Amino acid sequence: MSNWQELEYKYFMPTFTRLSLTLVRGRGARVWDEDGREYLDFVAGWAVNSLGHCHPTVVKAVTEQVKTLIQVSNSFYTIPQIQLAELLVKNSCLNKVFFCNSGAEAAEGAVKLARRYGKLHLGGAYEIITTSGSFHGRTLAMVSASGQSKFQRPYIPLPEGFINVDFNNIQAIKAATTCKVCAVMLEPVQGEGGINLPDDRYLETVRAWCDENGILLILDEVQTGVARTGTLFAYQQYGIEPDIMTLGKGLANGIPIGAMLAKDSASVFTPGEHGSTFGGNPVACATGYATLKFIIDHDIASNVKSVGRYLTDGLRNLAQKFKFITDVRGPGLLVAMEFSHDIAPQLTMACLDGGLLVNNLKPNALRFIPPLNIGNYEVDEALGILDEALSSIASKI
Ligand X SMILES: *Cc1c(COP(=O)(O)O)cnc(C)c1O
* Catalytic residue annotation: 135, 220, 249
Which residues touch 87 (CB under 8 Å, ≥6 apart)?
Answer: 289, 292, 293, 296
CB of 133 to ligand X, least distance (A): 11
Nearer to ligand X by Cβ, of 187 and 378: the residue is 187
Element (H, E) at 286: helix 282-297
- 140 DSSP 8-state letter: H
When asked if residue 137 is in the footprint of ligand X (CB under 6 A), the reply is: yes
Give, to the nearest 10 degrees, the angle between helix 282-297 and helix 300-321.
Answer: 80
Omega before residue 188 within 30° of 0, cis? no
Nearest-angstrom CA–CA distance, 87 and 270 = 23
Choices 8-16, 19-27, 186-194, 389-397; region in contact with ligand X by CB under 6 A:
186-194
| Residue of the chain from 135, 162, 269, 289 that contacts ligand X (CB under 6 A) | 135
User: Which lies closer to ligand X via its Cβ, residue 118 or residue 254?
Assistant: 254
Residue 332 interacts with ligand X (CB under 6 A): yes or no: no
Instruction: Indicate the residue whose CB is closest to ligand X.
Output: 103
Shortest CB 137 distance to ligand X, Å: 4
Q: Identify the CA nearest to 252 among candidates 46, 49, 24, 47.
A: 49
Residue from the set 100, 203, 210, 222 that interacts with ligand X by CB under 6 A: 222
Q: What are phi and psi of 185, to 5 degrees?
A: -120, 125
| Interface pattern 342-361 for ligand X (x via CB under 6 A) | --------------------
Please name the helix (run of DSSP H) or strand (run of DSSP E) that holds residue 10, with its range, or none.
Answer: helix 4-11
* Binding status of residue 314 toward ligand X by CB under 6 A: no
Helix (H, G, I), strand (E, B) or coil at 114: helix
Q: How many residues does the chain have?
A: 397
Binding part of the chain for ligand X, among 70-78, 118-126, 129-137, 166-174 by CB under 6 A, reads: 129-137
> Which of positions 141-160 make contact with ligand X (CB under 6 A)?
none
Among 103, 194, 330, 371, binds ligand X (CB under 6 A): 103
∠ CA 249-290-44, nearest 5°, is: 35
81, 92, 196, 223: which one binds ligand X (CB under 6 A): 223
Q: Given candidates 65, 114, 161, 192, which one binds ligand X under the rule CB under 6 A? A: 192
Q: How far is the CB of 10 from ligand X (least distance, A)?
A: 25
Smallest gap, in angstroms, from Cβ of residue 221 to ligand X?
A: 7
49: exposed, middle or buried (Cβ count in 10 Å: 0-12, 13-18, 19+): buried
Mark 196-215 with x for binding to ligand X (rule: CB under 6 A) and - for no binding. Answer: --------------------
Nearest to 330 by CA among 305, 295, 349: 305
Does 248 participate in binding ligand X (rule CB under 6 A)?
A: yes
- Candidate ranges 2-10, 54-62, 149-157, 218-226; the one touching ligand X (CB under 6 A): 218-226
Q: At its nearest, how many Å lie between ligand X and the CB of residue 106?
A: 7
Count the site residues for ligand X by CB under 6 A. Answer: 15
Residue with smaller CB distance to ligand X, 221 or 343: 221
Smallest gap from Cβ 308 to ligand X, in A, equals 18
Based on the shown chain and the rule CB under 6 A, indicate whether residue 107 belongs to the binding site for ligand X.
yes
**Among the residue ranges 98-106, 200-208, 211-219, 295-303, the one whose residues contact ligand X (CB under 6 A):** 98-106
Cross-strand partners of 216: 183
| DSSP 8-state class, residue 265 | G
Q: For residues 243 and 262, is the Cβ–Cβ distance under 8 A?
A: yes
Rounded CA-CA distance 58/290 in Å is: 6
Q: Are 21 and 352 in contact (CB under 8 A)?
A: yes
- Amino acid identity, position 347: L
Alpha-carbon gap, residue 292 to 337, rounded angstroms: 28
Binding interface with ligand X (CB under 6 A): 102-104, 107, 135-137, 187, 191-192, 220, 222-223, 248-249
